[in-house]
Structure formats: structure tokens, C-alpha cells
Amino acid sequence: MTDNTLSLPGLSPVDAKEIHARFDGGALSSDGGVLALREIEQQLGYADMLSRCLHDKRDPSRTLHSYKTMIRARMFAICCGYEDCDDLDELRHDPAMKMACERLPDSGVPLASQPTLSRLENAPSWRELARMSAAMIDLFCGSFNTVPKHIMLDIDDTSDRTYGGQQLSLFNTHAGGYCFQPIHIYDAATQRPVCFVLRPGKRPSGLEAAMILRHVLRRIRQNWPRITITVRGDGHYGTPEVMDLLEKKGCFYILGLPGNKVLTQLSRPWCDNVATRRVSGKVREKIRRFFQTRYGAKSWSKKRKVIARVEATQQGTDVRFVVTNLTGRGKHLYEKVYCARGNMENLIKEHKLYTMSDRTSCHRWEANQFRLFLHTGAYWLLLLLRGAAPKRSRFRTATFETIRRSFLKIAVRVIELKSRIKIALPTACPHKNMLILLMVRIRAQSP
């Protein structure tokens, strides 16, 4: 008989002994940590949530893969670093991945292939996507053990480069090419995702931002009627439409305010004052002062509180403005409250870089929006896995890539016996004690 097992050539001898490497290891997986994600997903119920929003029009007698199983497989693959549907053509036979999707490693049916998953991505209608977006907000609210008294919502947009004929793709000079510009909304305290909207590659208008915030606030208030909400964003969202909406809804806000000729003229005495203080005080580096005033543009319905941060250095003076309805000193509101939104950039980075949410290469907008929800599910799983680490552990603040390399990319041998499934992990696993602790803490959080 002819042996068709592939071999790995080109390996040099070790201590005068030849190396014979063949791909005949059997039921092995390089992603053994996906079984931990399985436990988290069962508690979270993200795949079940998305699948309930989809109307399955397939013939049940010819259906082999449920929407829930396919969504799970797609999210687990993204968490393990396989962001493309094509990767599932090989991963569909991976024993650990099959077990994570509730299938036996050897005798179970393989997972869905790339064509089947591509049909899934193109299945949702815009109405179903709207239901998914509302369900994601419900999931966010349901993730708290007790109703918080106050939440801070960070809103921002980011560029998502496109390289084809995708719907809503527009040329953006700042991004350096054609792109989408999706809006991300997170809870600042817990870093949990709230809402994601895939939109054209241009700066959002005030009406568009207000419309998105209106839906988010309404859904949150349906879950938590008495919650106090503060919205924080940069100058893109310091528009009269957004401020009028938030004041009407009884929300607080602190938003960046783009400069103009009136604000420049208004801040000129402040700049002269700070520059004089720097020279007279012989300060070499810089000096920073804060000023407050009531200001109202012609397009505003009323005057509002504006905080100016004036900084003088050797290069001159620099002014930044924020508008807010919060009470307090200008220095505290600017440095401690507004500047804390810088962490939002890290959240977007983790969503884009570590869950590869910019792989929106489908033609239809609906398919790309659904992909964004799948990558958000992977963000949820990695966030909860990281959150299971002890507070003083270095993994509590690690990036998603560190979490993936430490706890997901683990080689395992899977043996399916008659009455049980045996999993052999490497004895020299560098983080085995922490992995054991994570599984104990995850299991303790289950119902």
C-alpha cells in the first residue's frame, strides 16, 4: 500500500540523528484554549442572541448546520486569530473547534465550510440587523449583576479601509483611500461594547450622530429607566443636534468643541495671560491654565458652558475647547473626565487590530454589518476571558493578543473514548496554573 501521509522536509539532524517529521499526529489541535471560550459563550449567549434575530428560510430536512453553531464557529475562529471564512475550510475538522461548537471531535459532523458561512453572512436583512443591534444593547445591560447608578458612554468613529466595490465605501482623504467610518460606542468603566454601526467613509453629521444616540439611549432606558447617563466624545459630536438631544433626554455630556473665529477671539486674552505668566515665572517647559465661559453659537438653541484649556510652551500657545453640562471646576472636568476618553482609542484598537473587525470585504452593506457583529462577539469573549483573571494579575490589563497567545493557542491531543473525551495538554504549558485558575473562576460565574 502507498503511504500518502505528508512529510516535513528540510530538517537538519540533531546530535547526529536524523529527524523524520510527518503530519500523522492524529486528533491534534493548536487552539485548545477555545474550550474556555465555549464556557464563556454559553454564559453570555451571544450566538443564541444573534441566531434568534434571523429568520431561517432553509429546508429543515436539508439543513446540517444551525445558525447558532455557525455563528459560534465564526466567533471562536476570530478569537483564535482566524479572521477569514476561508480558514474554516480546514478548521471545520479541528477537534477542539468541533467540541467548542457542541460536536464530538471524531465521530461528530464537521463544521460549516466557507461557502456555507458566506451564505450566512449574506442572510440578514436590514430589519434583522436592527433587531440584532437592539439585542446587543439588551445584552450589555444584562451583563451587570446589579443596575448601576451611572454609566459613561464613549462614542467615536474610526476608519475602515476598503479595497473593492463595497457598498457605502467612500474616498476619505484623512484615511488615505476608500473606507468605511463605523461608529463605536463603549461603556467607559467596564470596556463593554454597546453599539456598532457600519456607515459611509465620511465624518458623521450632527443629525446622524443624534439619531444613533437616540436609539441607544432609548434602549438603555427601556432596561434601566432611572439610570444616569453621560456621553463623552470628541469634536465630531459637539454639535447642536447631539447636545439638544442629550439635554432633552436628561443626560449629561462632555464633548470636544471645534474652534472658530469667535472662540479664537474670545480666548486671546487668556492666551496672552498664560504666555505672560510663563515668561514672568521663568517656566522653561510649559504652563497650563483653564478658563470657563458661557458661549452660544448661532446654530445653538441656548448658551452653554465651555471650558478652555490654554497651554503655553516655547513654540507658542495652544487652546482646546470642550462643551459640557456637568458641574465642577474646569481643570477637573477637562483633565480627569474628558481626557479619560483617550482609553477609547485602546478599545477601538483592540476591536480592529486584535479581533480584525476591519475585515469588511463583502459587497453588500448588510453582510459587512453582520460581520461587524460577529467580530464584536469575539471582542466580548476575549474581554470576559481577560476579566476572569485576578485583579492584580498582569493578564488583567494585557492586550487581547497576549490573552490569545497565552490561553488560546495551546496544543492539545483529543481522544474520543466510548464514555468520555480525553484531552492531553502539554506538560510544559507556561501558564497552566493561571489557566486552571481562569477555568475555576469562569465556572464559578455560571448559573
Q: What is the pTM of this model?
A: 0.93
What domains are defined for the chain? 28-122+414-444 (no CATH), 126-361 (3.90.350)
**Residue-level pLDDT at 170:** 95
**Residue-level pLDDT at 271:** 87
DSSP 336: I
- Average pLDDT score, the chain: 92
**Residue-level pLDDT at 355:** 95
What Å distances lie between residue 285 and 315, 316, 417, CA to CA? 10, 11, 70
Q: Residue 2 pLDDT > 60, yes or no?
A: no
**Residue-level pLDDT at 30:** 93
> What strands lie across the sheet with 177-180, from one edge to the other?
160-161, 177-180, 170-172
Mean pLDDT, residues 49-70 taken together: 93
Residue 293: φ, ψ to 5°: -155, 165
Mean pLDDT, residues 189-217 taken together: 96
Find the DSSP H helices in 101-182. 114-121, 126-142
- For the chain, what percent of residues have pLDDT higher than 90? 81
**Residue-level pLDDT at 10:** 82
Q: Residue 3 pLDDT > 70, yes or no?
A: no
> CA angle, 428 as apex, 42 and 390 as ends, to 5°?
45
Per-residue pLDDT tens digits for 278-287:
777 766 678 8
Q: Residue 135: left (phi > 0), alpha (psi -120 to 50), or beta?
A: alpha
The amino acid present at 62, given as its one-letter code, is R
State the pLDDT confidence band at 328, using cuts at 50, 70 and 90: very high
**Residue-level pLDDT at 282:** 67
Instruction: Report how far residue 392's alpha carbon sits from residue 277's, in angstroms, rounded to the nearest whole number.
Output: 43
| Lookup: cell for 372 | 461587524
- For the chain, what percent of residues have pLDDT higher than 70? 98
With both helix axes pointing from N to C terminus, report the angle between 34-44 and 365-387 in degrees, rounded to the nearest 10: 100
Find the DSSP H helices in 327-431. 330-332, 343-349, 365-387, 400-403
Instruction: Report how far residue 236's alpha carbon sits from residue 184's, in angstroms, rounded to the nearest whole number.
Output: 13
Q: Residue 410 pLDDT > 50, yes or no?
A: yes
Residue with cell 479601509: 161
**Residue-level pLDDT at 1:** 43
**Residue-level pLDDT at 164:** 86
